[in-house]
Amino acid sequence: MTANANSPISNAMTSRQHAVLRALSQARGFTSAQSLHVEIRSSGERIGLATVYRALHTFVASEIAHTMHDADGTQLFSIAPANGLGYHLICRECRRHVPVSVGFVEDWAVHVASAHGYTDMELVIEVSGQCHTCAASTPRQQRSSSC
């Protein structure tokens, strides 16, 4: 993978990539390639799932989209926000996501990487858990009284 943030993807985007980008933009939060595939096909566009995947991975490499994995290991995608809040706190159950700022972590990562002579650093942060709504609706299996 040699793609980087400077690749002129928007200039060279195919109509199918545009369709994927449009569907991804309209999705609320993180969504799977399968869901986007169904969404695009229902709008009349003829597109294969592999094409959807290829477009999504191109978007991720170009930092147009973000990716994460849900509790089942399914890869999910979301448009990267343009406001600098590039990371999300994600609920593994309902996929509710909250944009979070991690500027201090980026500062630390850049410092550590450069201290070791590394360049072209890539930082991947995935913070997932259970949101308060899901936590409240999940019955506790066993409440321990010993602690």
Q: Shortest approach of Zn ion to residue 136 CB, angstroms?
A: 9
Q: Shortest approach of Zn ion to residue 31 CB, angstroms?
A: 15
Q: Shortest approach of Zn ion to residue 98 CB, angstroms?
A: 11
**50, 71, 94, 123: residue in contact with Zn ion (rule CB under 5 A):** 94
Distance CA 18, CA 20 (A): 5
Q: Shortest approach of Zn ion to residue 135 CB, angstroms?
A: 8
89 binds Zn ion (CB under 5 A): no
- Residues numbered 53 to 82 that lie near Zn ion (CB under 5 A) are none
Find where tokens 């997932």 sit: 128
In this structure, the dihedral spanned by the alpha carbons of residues 124, 61, 70 and 125, taken in order and rounded to 10 degrees, is 10
Residue type, 59: F
Longest dimension (CA), the chain: 62
Q: How many residues bind Zn ion (CB under 5 A)?
A: 6
91 binds Zn ion (CB under 5 A): yes
134 binds Zn ion (CB under 5 A): yes
Range in contact with Zn ion (rule: CB under 5 A) among 37-45, 58-66, 88-96, 116-124: 88-96
CA angle 19–21–26, rounded 5-degree value: 95
**93, 109, 113, 128: residue in contact with Zn ion (rule CB under 5 A):** 93
> Tokens standing for 8?
């002129």
Distance CA 47, CA 58 (A): 16
> Tokens standing for 131?
């949101």
Binding site for Zn ion (CB under 5 A): 91, 93-94, 96, 131, 134
